[in-house]
Chain A
Amino acid sequence: MTLYDIVELLDAEVLYEGADLNKVVPCAFASDLISDILMCTKEPTLLLTGLTNNQVIRLADMIDLIGIVFVRGKKPMQDVIDMAKERGLPLIATKMTLYRSSGILYNAGLRSCKI
């Protein structure tokens, strides 16, 4: 599954142009708590979250995030989007809830990351 597939499955919007959506996504993790995300991510992972502050992008400096899906219609401010752009980290926004987004991706074959 690629980020393109994820955008389609979640009827989502890509938050800046030029992000590499051909990246293959091996697994995903969903949480709104930063320490949970840090504790559970040991391999390249797609993150689904409702957090939109700069620390979510900062996480990508510490762990290997393939991209971030913002759920529940939330979108980060422009300075946060710019931070992601600098890092080449694709950002996607969907109106769906965290539960629904996760369910759709899981059903489509995207496994949970190893914790």
Chain B
Amino acid sequence: MQDFVAAKFEMAEYWHINSGLEERVKEFLAKKIEPDVVLQIDIPEKDFNIAGRGSSELKNLLKRLGVDSDILRRIAVASYEAEINVAAHSIGGKMISNVYDDLIYMQFIDNGPGISDIEQAMIPGYSTADDLVREFGFGAGLGLPNIKKNSDALHIESALGSPTLVEIIIFFLK
């Protein structure tokens, strides 16, 4: 995936693509086709009354579109974890879900303050969650690992003092 390394921004990058899907993911990203449906939702900072609504809404939309229930669960879990990450760890951001006939391409973009060490953030159990976030039952240190586990492709771009971009691709058919 060297084509996508954005070293020009001096941002740290992380890629995970499920084995066997590299070509499909690369082809999709290169084509830059317009999605059939776009769902954009704002994610305010530390508002846990609202957090998660975006993922609920997305799941309902995909359910209506007839996406398989097991795939639906993987999308909902990955989306929810990423949505909670934005609410819990950033000063706010948004989620953009691009729905195609054969896949979903989700983008989570926040306004910072960025991840200082992405590799460390990927270690199960590592968490920087504060007390308020932990009171809600978050902060297990499994957010990013859980996204990775449920995604076909995961791309993270961030640096301390910068916005974070998390991109997730999940195919509707295996």
- Interface residue ranges, A against B (CB under 8 Å): 32-36, 38-39, 42, 49, 51, 53-56, 58, 61-64
**In the bound complex, CA of A35 to CA of B84 (Å):** 10
**In the bound complex, CA of A46 to CA of B59 (Å):** 21
Closest residue to A34 on the B side, CB-wise?
Answer: B137
- Interface residue ranges, B against A (CB under 8 Å): 48-49, 51-53, 55-56, 59, 70, 73, 76-77, 80-81, 84, 135-143, 145-146, 149
Pick the contact of B59: A34, A36, A51, A62 (CB < 8 A). Answer: A62
Chain A interface SS verdict (over half)? helix
Question: A33-B137, A34-B137, A62-B77 are known contacts; what are 16 more A-B pairs with Cβ within 8 Å?
Answer: A32-B137, A33-B138, A33-B139, A35-B81, A35-B143, A36-B142, A39-B77, A51-B137, A54-B48, A55-B48, A55-B52, A55-B84, A55-B136, A58-B52, A61-B52, A63-B77
Chain B nearest CB from A103 CB (Å) reads: 22
Contact A53 B140, CB 8 Å, known A39-B146, A39-B149, A58-B56: no
Q: Which residues of B contact A54 (CB under 8 A)?
A: 48-49
Contact A35 B73, CB 8 Å, known A54-B49, A58-B56: no
Contact A42 B51, CB 8 Å, known A35-B140, A35-B142, A56-B137: no
Chain B nearest CB from A98 CB (Å) reads: 13
Q: List 28 A-B contacts (CB under 8 A).
A: A33-B140, A34-B84, A34-B136, A34-B138, A35-B81, A35-B140, A35-B141, A35-B143, A36-B142, A39-B77, A39-B145, A39-B149, A49-B137, A53-B135, A53-B137, A55-B136, A55-B137, A56-B137, A58-B51, A61-B56, A61-B59, A62-B52, A62-B55, A62-B56, A62-B59, A62-B73, A62-B76, A63-B77
